[in-house]
Amino acid sequence: MTFVVALSTLLSNVAWAANPLNFGSDILTADPSGHVWQDGRMYLYTSHDENCQLDFWMKDWHVFSSDDLINWVDHGAVLSVDQLSWADNYAWAPDAGYKNGKYYFVFPAGTGHKDRANPEKSTKWMGIGIAESDSPTGPFVDVIGAPLWREPYANDPSLFIDDDGQAYLYFHGKGFDYYVIKMADDMRSTEGDFIKMDMGGYEPKMEGPWVFKRNDIYYFTMPENNRELAYYTAPSPLGPWQYQGVFMESEHDSNNHHSIVQFKDDWILFYHRWLETPDANCDARKRQRHSAAEYIYFNDDGTIKKVNRTEHGVGQNLTKKISN
């Protein structure tokens, strides 16, 4: 009984981030890409859902930072489609990287209209751009003034920079999934051709990939069937990949988009949830997307333990380890 009382007291005194993450306003964010740079802070790059937006017509990207995952600073929009000469819509899931003393922001954007009722009439096109800045919070500048390529149609970029400095760009491509391409050293162009990776014979429908490395194991993670989060492992960033299964189930049969990053001694899963949002006042869609976070744990062999969504999210280490 004494232990139960003590544990209850400890839990009641812990500060939790709470899900969804509190960015200090009613901003709607999705597709959170987490990175820890040289200053040790967590930087979260997100897409920005406008209230009651029409069919994911999104216009800019935001960045937030925190030194405890609980209190966040909103640094505002780091780039907008209004600043692009080659796209005017679809500011979807971004990513970021650091190399050559500069910060790089990789992003999808597009033009045209997607006709969901008559797909054959769709004019929508999307490509991937890259911008750079001297600061992790921008502003970022589209220095090449064009997408990295025009074919294939692509979005949901994931920028992974290996220990040797080589940068790899993974993405979701229309009829072109499970490909990767190397970035040139100047980070302003690609190098060589697209590389079709060996996924061990299992290639389900997917959206935004996220690649990271832990203890010499490379992880290719993704929303499998655009819903549940699943992953592969490999001895190199190019594979061959071995499918390991689902680590987070789907919610509301809706899309998910995530990142996995080490922060201090912990590994954090950022993702978005579709939650009832009473203030949205949307006739067609009452659920809106909100960024959230959970601790993620690994087994001794490097496989990922199942992750459940929680209301409290991430908090202080002592309580987190007790609950694990």
Question: pLDDT tens, position by position, for the chain (324 residues)?
Answer: 454 444 444 445 556 778 999 999 999 999 999 999 999 999 999 999 988 888 899 999 999 999 999 999 999 999 999 999 999 999 999 999 999 999 999 999 999 999 999 999 999 999 999 999 999 999 999 999 999 999 999 999 999 999 999 999 999 999 999 999 999 999 999 999 999 999 999 999 999 999 999 999 999 999 999 999 999 999 999 999 999 999 999 988 888 999 999 999 999 999 999 888 766 566 555 788 999 999 999 999 999 999 999 999 997 554 444 445
How far apart CA 220 and CA 152 sit, in angstroms, is 21
C-alpha dihedral sign at 303, 156, 314, 250: negative
The model's pTM: 0.92
DSSP states of 22-90 as a string? Answer: --SS--EEEEEEEEE-TT--EEEEEEEEPTT-STT---EEEEEEESSSSS-EEEEEEEEGGG-SS--B-
The DSSP 8-state label assigned to residue 156 in this structure reads: E
How far apart CA 233 and CA 237 sit, in angstroms, is 9
Residue from 308, 205, 310 nearest 250 by CA? 308
* In the block, residue with structure tokens 């033009």: 111
How far apart CA 294 and CA 218 sit, in angstroms, is 21
